[in-house]
């Protein structure tokens, strides 16, 4: 369970001379004992919803079109948006970074590093695509000696390791003297 609770206790209408009026919803966010407030318009909820649909299955967003701006209708929208945020928190074990950015949460303990892709500012589809490179798997490292040799066993047969013995002349030296290595010299017969 997340140590995050959200509520939308109120809203207010804004009148603007450059555009028709709009409603701002006050979101109270409580996380890790700290509370802060964020104000968002419905259009910002809608933008969040579009981006969340690319990475999780979010709940339905309340209708974008409201026929009248009477307080009862706006109250229903406020309640619907509050349920929307709460449902995202309840239904997702790991909260997307874009959702945390929307709520202005900078440090959240359950956010894994792999989930940190994509921020609220970028709407690029490529921002959250993971890239994987092919991986080769060796069951045994062909360049390491078997463990028995490390304990003082017989040296491995290069042919058994899948290679040929090195040519001492090609390495710029003479073959090692077996007597110097503590072994018996080869039988000249």
Domain ranges of the chain: 4-111
- Is residue 149 over pLDDT 70? no
What pLDDT, in 10s, does the model give residues 33-70? 899 999 999 999 999 999 999 999 999 999 887 766 78
Class at the top of the CATH hierarchy for domain 4-111: alpha beta
- Is residue 130 over pLDDT 80? no
Greater pLDDT, 5 or 160: 5
**Per-residue pLDDT at 17:** 66
DSSP output for 109-166: TT--GGGG---TT---GGGG----------SS-TTSPPHHHHTT-PPPPTTTTTSPPP
User: Would you give the distance in Å from CA 142 to the centre of its chain?
Assistant: 35
Element (H, E) at 35: strand 34-41
**Per-residue pLDDT at 111:** 44
What pLDDT, in 10s, does the model give residues 83-95? 999 999 999 999 9
**Per-residue pLDDT at 115:** 44
Average pLDDT of the residues in 143-148 = 60
User: Does pTM surpass 0.75?
Assistant: no
What pLDDT, in 10s, does the model give residues 98-125? 999 999 998 776 544 444 454 554 444 4
**Per-residue pLDDT at 79:** 96
């Amino acid at each position: 369970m997340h140590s995050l609770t959200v509520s939308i206790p109120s809203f207010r209408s804004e009148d603007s001379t450059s555009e028709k009026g709009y409603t701002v919803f006050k979101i109270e966010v409580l996380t890790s004992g700290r509370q802060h407030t964020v104000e968002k318009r419905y259009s910002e909820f809608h933008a969040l919803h579009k981006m969340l649909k690319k990475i999780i299955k979010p709940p339905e967003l309340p209708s974008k079109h409201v026929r009248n701006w009477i307080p009862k209708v706006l109250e229903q929208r406020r309640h619907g948006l509050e349920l929307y945020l709460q449902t995202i928190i309840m239904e997702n074990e790991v909260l997307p970074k874009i959702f945390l950015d929307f709520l202005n949460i900078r440090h959240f303990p359950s956010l894994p590093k792999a989930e940190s892709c994509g921020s609220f500012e970028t709407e690029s589809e490529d921002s959250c695509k993971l890239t994987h490179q092919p991986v080769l798997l060796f069951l045994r490292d062909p360049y390491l000696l078997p463990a028995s040799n490390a304990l003082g066993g017989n040296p491995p047969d290069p042919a058994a390791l899948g290679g040929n013995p090195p040519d001492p002349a090609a390495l710029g030296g003479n073959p090692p003297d077996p007597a110097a290595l503590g072994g018996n010299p080869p039988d000249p017969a």
